[in-house]
């Protein structure tokens, strides 16, 4: 009995270390003899443990050398293709599928691979409830009064303090709170553009941003984008004369999940400043890095106040709270004026509660857990895709965030897949909603912010089966 | 000792009945003999009571007939002038004083006659706190998840139920929630207009609406407005060909506070429908009637789905909650699409809490109290204006809402008054911020949503003294 228990515990422990990346591909495992001595188990039990792990494809033996961590099978999946959008701006209506996909938001009968937010079970809801109760007690007037126009001071202070982690050096006076990050983007675009202006974006791009741009009468210029390094700087350079404003999501962009290298960030910031093109930087996923290091932001290379850095807790803490912010650089006055006109105030209680939550160490603790869940999910999803999706399926290599981009062979239409999947209570985001051009019909985005379970694995396998049937 | 106490109590009791309108102008008071018998006081004490009330101008004696309630002295104040704006649309920038005035929002060192919201002490903050705590417990995910796109179902249901009181017959499916009423107006204007279109408004008009219109690139057509009946229908008729959309606040509009007669509402709705001009109706003050009857809305005369009816709890319950809604008639689909793009979701917890609060009878109870406070405030303000403001000062006759419009003699510049008043820690809203034209320089709006106190009375008297010094 005890032996069995120990056997399982040791095997699981090693498996976890491999899955979570503590043990990396190619690393050597202890010898059978060492494992046996370390845990006080027999040589035979130690052998059985290694054989079991080998059976799960987690390790492999090399003759005369011992056992090594296998490269995960998903790393053998080919990488998604770099996009090649047409270099002509347009403002045609987004694909109508977009509204269909979003209308499933909040439906509890569906497995929502389609909505790019962390599931409630991955969020610190009990702790947040307490903060809200405290906030109603702390605020004079119980939070019924308008906030100061620039927003809750605690929250602004904490956003400023946390900016040190990404190379920013903000003070609270440089930050304006907003109703979530989308509201920050709305204010930025309204401040900087007028109808007919051209907005440069990554491609594929978050559908909400495409819709927003079109609704403001802007022309959208989609720029070629690499799934590892992000927007193609040479492509951007060639199109500069047409561009009024540039909006990028350099850290763990949805749907691709890449992290733009620092040197690219620096170059883009200086290039745009030189051409007097403001850069709106959406950093709402920045805290969701799979690696140990919080990446820098474009804003950290901003010498001219030309970068409007936007963030929120919608992807890390509570989508339903609508708490976001912007550090608008030299455009602060215009942003505050528009905030006054368009929303006057954020929700006082919720902003106070989030400000307090960030002030304690609870946010960092939560982020650590959430990041681990997302990292593991990515690996789990990818492993299933490797085993159950059509041959030649390609995927992105997210380095953080909530999205995995799946590229099927050309002839698999994810618009059709969307309809079939819905019949199995599965919702996905088809690739065509991430562009205003004729691209990505064979791609889809999967949200990896759902809690891992056997049922979720089953749903993913069903998706794979459907896709194969569409071949 | 006891006699003195009784004397004061009886005198105050009668004074309160007069001030609160229980005893109406012209009504006969009991005879000296009856008052004495009723309260067990001497004839002499009864006589002293009447003399004291007469000294306060609350009653007057008619020879051989006894004592009668005086018409309140503020009713002897002349009525504010009907506006005569130029019938040419413009989109010039609002007076820069507007931003100055709004930047004082939330400052606790000032007496904020300038901000049109009820003071926290008039709001049911303790009850709301409880609702919020309950909401965090009731909502799955503790309110961290996005709401359904159309908004919280309880809140929508209660808005629909309450529509019966104003002649509406809404169902929950016709209501979309928004982040306060301004956000509802933003969505309506974005859905119905494009830059360069002309928007017809009352004059004077809420500065936030003027700012919003200009920020959306609209031309503003200010229509002549009567302080008792509202917008001049003949003036509107003459300008119809130019108008793309009309936005009115027919119930207790700020700053004038009138209630548009039902026949005018009906006529305007039919006129605009005939000319295919959508009507945005801002009914955010509709529940704040000084009289016993909740007035009807234009929406109750809407046969074509052409009226977009907007409301909120920002002026009745909690400005800082940002809870509002719109019943957009036939424009529902466009509004929902814009809501998706611009805000995605409202704050889940707060909307659930307000929905629950409306479901119980607590909201009606609170409204009754708030309405009584506002009615009394109006009378108190007006009495002080009658006694302490420059001769020939005119005022509006609000029938509800939070505002009193004061019109000084022509040569008193309320821009100057604003600056002087600020030195005494008093903030007012100068008339010029209620127009994009060259009007109202000698007018101001006072918020009557502050709790009455001796200090407030003193501040009002100081304002009067300053205005006299500017003569």
Residues 6+ apart with CB under 8 A from B247: B185, B188, B189, B199, B200, B201, B209, B279, B280, B282
Q: Do the Cβ atoms of A213 and B342 come closer than 8 Å?
A: no
Q: How far is B148 from chain A (nearest CA, A)?
A: 6
Contacts of B183 in chain A (CB under 8 A): 342-343
Express the helix, strand and coil content of chain A in percent, nearest 5 each. Answer: 45, 15, 40
How many helices (H) does chain A have, and how many strands (E)?
15, 17
- Least confident stretch, A353-357, B34-38, B143-147, B265-269: B143-147
Give the residue on B whose Cα is nearest the Cα of A352: B320
In whole angstroms, give the CA distance from residue B208 to residue B310: 15
Cα–Cα distance for residue pair A432/A414, rounded to 1 Å: 8
Decide if B215 and A341 are in contact by the 8 Å CB cutoff: yes
- Decide the pairing of beta strands A403-407 and A394-395: antiparallel
- Min Cα–Cα distance to chain B from A61, Å: 46
Contact B135, A136 (CB under 8 A): no
- Residue B26 is predicted with a pLDDT of 82
Chain B residues with beta carbon closer than 8 angstroms to that of A343: 179-180, 182-183, 322
Q: State both tokens at A324.
A: 């976001």
What is the predicted pLDDT for the residue at A15?
83
Q: All domains of chain A, ordered by start, with CATH?
A: 2-71 (1.10.10.10), 125-363 (3.40.640.10)
CB A355 within 8 A of CB A192: no
Q: What is the dihedral of CA B46, B50, B53, B55, to 10 degrees?
A: -120
- Which one of A117, A340, A342 has the shortest CB-CB distance to B146? A117
pLDDT per residue rounded down to tens, chain A (471 residues): 455 678 888 888 888 888 777 888 888 999 999 999 988 899 988 988 988 887 776 788 887 888 888 777 666 788 899 999 999 999 888 888 888 888 887 788 999 999 888 998 999 999 999 999 999 888 878 888 888 889 999 999 999 999 999 999 999 999 999 999 999 999 999 999 999 999 999 999 999 999 999 989 999 999 999 999 999 999 999 999 999 999 999 999 999 999 999 999 999 999 999 999 999 999 999 999 988 789 999 999 999 999 999 999 999 998 888 999 999 999 999 999 999 888 777 888 999 999 999 998 899 999 999 999 998 899 889 989 999 999 999 999 999 999 999 999 999 999 999 999 999 999 999 999 999 999 999 999 999 999 999 999 999 999 999 999 998
Distance between CA atoms of residues B451 and B223, nearest Å: 34
- Residues with Cβ within 8 Å of residue A406, at least 6 apart in sequence: A80, A385, A389, A393, A394, A395, A396, A443, A444, A445, A446
Q: Is the pLDDT of residue B19 over 80?
A: no
Round to whole Å and give the CA distance between A401 and A258: 9
The runs of H, that is alpha helices, within B251-361 are 262-274, 332-342, 348-359
Taking the C-alpha atoms of residue B438 and residue B357, their distance in angstroms, rounded to an integer, is: 44
For all residues of chain B together, what is the average pLDDT? Answer: 91
Q: What is the pLDDT of residues B142-155, one digit of tens each?
A: 888 888 889 999 99
At B444-462, the pLDDT tens digits run 999 999 999 999 999 999 9
Q: Does residue B1 carry a pLDDT above 50?
A: no
Residue pair B195/B79 in contact by the 8 Å Cβ criterion: no
Q: Is the peptide bond before B255 cis (omega within 30 degrees of 0)?
A: yes
Residues of B in contact with A117 (CB under 8 A): 145-146
Tell me what pLDDT residue B233 has.
97
Around A441, how many Cα atoms within 13 Å sit in the side-chain half-sphere? 8
Q: Which of A28-37, B18-27, B238-247, B376-385 has the lowest mean pLDDT?
A: B18-27
For the record, the structure tokens of A450 come out as 């759902």
Residue of A143, A144, A151 to mutate, testing the B interface (most B Cβ within 10 Å of its Cβ): A144
Q: How many CA atoms lie within 13 A of B269 on its CB side?
A: 23
- Which among A100, A182, A189, A342 is the top mutation candidate for probing chain B, defined by the most B β-carbons within 10 Å of its own β-carbon? A342
- Contact assignment for A320 to B144 by CB distance below 8 Å: yes
Kind and range of the H or E element at B246? strand B245-248
Distance, CA of A462 to CA of A426 (rounded, Å): 9
Give the 3-state secondary structure of residue B58.
Answer: coil
For chain B, what is the total number of helices (H) and then of strands (E)? 15, 17
Cα–Cα distances in angstroms (integers) from residue B307 to residues B172, B218, B224, in the given order: 16, 19, 21
pLDDT per position as a tens digit, B210-221: 999 998 999 999
- Backbone dihedral angles phi then psi of residue A436, each to the nearest 5 degrees: -100, 5
Inter-chain residue contact A132 with B346, CB threshold 8 Å: no
The mean per-residue pLDDT over the stretch B361-372 comes to: 92
Give the pLDDT of residue A1.
Answer: 44
Among chain B residues, CA nearest to A339 = B212
Å from A322 to nearest chain B CA?
6
- Helices B348-359 and B125-138 cross at an angle (nearest 10°) of 120
Half-sphere exposure of A409 (CA within 13 A, CB side): 11
Q: Are A129 and B352 in contact (CB under 8 A)?
A: no
**Which residue in this structure is represented by tokens 């999501």?**
A249
Between A247 and B376, the higher pLDDT residue: A247
- In DSSP terms, which residues pair with A225 in a beta bridge? A231
- Residue B258 Cα distances to A266, B199, B253, B266, B311, angstroms: 58, 21, 6, 16, 17
Lowest model confidence (mean pLDDT) among A337-346, A354-363, B190-199, B294-303: A337-346
Determine which of B114, B115, B142, B447 to mutate to test the interface with A (most A C-beta atoms within 10 Å).
B142
Residues from chain A that touch B149, judged by Cβ atoms under 8 A, are 102-103, 105-106
Compute the distance between CA of residue B139 and CA of residue A123 in angstroms, rounded to an integer.
14
Percent of chain B with pLDDT over 90: 68
pLDDT tier for residue B410 given thresholds of 50, 70 and 90:
very high
Contact A299, A327 (CB under 8 A): yes
Give the relative orientation of helices A348-359 and A362-388 as an angle to the nearest 10 degrees. Answer: 90
DSSP-derived pairing of the beta strands B279-282 and B307-312: parallel
pLDDT at A4: 67
> Could you tell me the pLDDT band of residue B70, with boundaries at 50, 70 and 90?
confident
For residues B14 and B20, what is the distance between their CA atoms, to the nearest angstrom? Answer: 10
Contact A342 B146 (CB under 8 A): no
Q: How far is CA A352 from CA A175, A356, B138, B311, in A?
A: 15, 6, 21, 25
CA pair distance A281, A184, nearest whole angstrom: 10
Tell me how far CA of residue B380 lies from CA of B29, B58, B75, in angstroms. Answer: 22, 12, 12
The CA distances from residue A464 to A75, A81, A158, A197, in Å, are: 18, 20, 43, 41
Q: Determine contact, residues A383/A72, Cβ cutoff 8 Å.
A: yes
How many C-alpha atoms does B159 have within 13 Å on its Cβ side? 29
Closest residue by Cα to residue A133 from B195, B44, B3, B349 = B349
Q: Are B320 and A348 a contacting pair at CB < 8 A?
A: yes
In this complex, the residue of A117, A195, A342 whose CB is nearest that of residue B195 is A195
pLDDT value of residue B2: 54
Q: How far A126 CA sits from the closest chain B CA (Å)?
A: 7
Q: What is the pLDDT of residue B95?
A: 82
**Measured in whole angstroms, how far is the alpha carbon of residue B192 from the centre of its chain?**
26
Interchain contact, A141 vs B133, CB within 8 Å: no
A335: CB partners within 8 A, 6+ apart: A176, A187, A188, A191, A308, A326, A328
- Of A285-289, B58-62, B192-196, the one with minimum mean pLDDT is B58-62
Best mutation target among B341, B348, B449, B451 (most A Cβ atoms within 10 Å) is B341
The answer to whether the CB of A403 falls within 8 A of the CB of A88 is no
The alpha carbon of residue A179 is apart from the nearest alpha carbon of chain B, in Å, by 7
B95: which residues sit within 8 A by CB, 6+ positions away? B432, B433
Nearest C-alpha of chain B: how many angstroms from A295?
26
Give the Cα separation of A320 and B349 in Å (integer).
Answer: 8
pLDDT attached to residue A163: 96
Spatial separation of the C-alpha atoms in residues A227 and A235, rounded to whole Å: 15
Average pLDDT over residues B420-436: 96
Cis preceding linkage at B18, omega within 30: no
The DSSP letter of residue B64 is T
Tokens of B302: 């809407």
Task: Count other C-beta atoms under 10 Å from residue B100's C-beta.
Answer: 16
Structural contact between residues A85 and A203, judged by C-beta atoms closer than 8 angstroms: yes
CA neighbor of B246 nearest in space, from B274, B227, B226: B274
The whole-angstrom distance between A439's CA and the closest CA on chain B is 22
Tokens standing for residue B169: 């017959």
Does B106 contact A145 at a Cβ distance shorter than 8 Å?
yes
Residues of B with CB below 8 A from A177's CB? none
For residue B235, the model assigns a pLDDT of 96
């Amino acid at each position: 009995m005890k032996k069995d228990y120990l056997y399982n515990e040791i095997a699981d422990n090693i498996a976890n270390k491999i899955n979570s990346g503590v043990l990396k591909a190619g690393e050597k495992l202890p010898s059978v003899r060492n494992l046996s001595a370390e845990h006080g188990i027999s040589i035979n039990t130690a052998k059985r443990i290694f054989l079991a792990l080998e059976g799960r494809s987690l390790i492999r033996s090399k003759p005369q050398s011992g056992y090594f961590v296998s490269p995960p099978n998903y790393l053998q999946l080919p990488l998604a293709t770099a996009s090649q959008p047409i270099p002509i701006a347009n403002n045609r209506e987004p694909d109508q599928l977009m509204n269909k996909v979003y209308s499933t938001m909040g439906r509890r009968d569906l497995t929502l691979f389609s909505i790019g937010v962390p599931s409630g079970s991955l969020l610190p809801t009990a702790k947040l409830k307490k903060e809200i109760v405290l906030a109603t007690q702390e605020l004079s007037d119980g939070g019924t009064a308008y906030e100061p126009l620039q927003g809750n001071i605690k929250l602004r202070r904490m956003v400023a303090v946390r900016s040190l982690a990404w190379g920013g050096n903000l003070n609270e006076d440089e930050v304006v709170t907003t109703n979530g990050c989308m509201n920050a983007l709305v204010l930025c675009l309204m401040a900087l553009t007028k109808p007919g202006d051209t907005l440069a974006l990554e491609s594929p791009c978050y559908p909400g941003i495409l819709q927003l741009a079109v609704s403001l009468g802007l022309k959208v210029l989609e720029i070629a984008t690499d799934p590892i390094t992000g927007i193609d700087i040479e492509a951007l350079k060639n199109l500069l004369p047409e561009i009024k404003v540039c909006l990028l999501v350099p850290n763990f962009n949805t749907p691709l999940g890449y992290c733009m290298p620092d040197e690219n960030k620096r170059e883009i910031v200086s290039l745009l400043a030189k051409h007097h093109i403001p850069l709106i930087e959406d950093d709402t996923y920045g805290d969701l890095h799979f690696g140990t290091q919080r990446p820098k932001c474009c804003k950290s290379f901003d010498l001219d106040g030309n970068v409007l850095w936007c963030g929120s807790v919608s992807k890390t803490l509570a989508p339903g709270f609508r708490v976001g912010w912007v550090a608008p650089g030299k455009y602060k006055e215009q942003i505050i004026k528009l905030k006054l006109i368009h929303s006057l105030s954020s929700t006082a209680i919720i902003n106070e509660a989030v400000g307090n939550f960030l002030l304690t160490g609870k946010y960092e603790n939560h982020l650590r857990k959430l990041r681990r869940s997302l990292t593991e999910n990515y690996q789990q999803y990818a492993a299933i895709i490797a085993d159950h999706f059509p041959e030649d399926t390609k995927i992105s290599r997210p380095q953080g965030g909530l999205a995995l981009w799946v590229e099927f062979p050309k002839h698999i239409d994810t618009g059709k897949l969307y309809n079939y999947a819905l019949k199995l209570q599965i919702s996905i985001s088809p690739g065509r909603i991430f562009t205003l051009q004729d691209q990505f019909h064979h791609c889809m985005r999967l949200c990896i912010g759902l809690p891992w379970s056997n049922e979720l694995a089953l749903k993913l396998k069903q998706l794979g089966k459907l896709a194969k049937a569409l071949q």
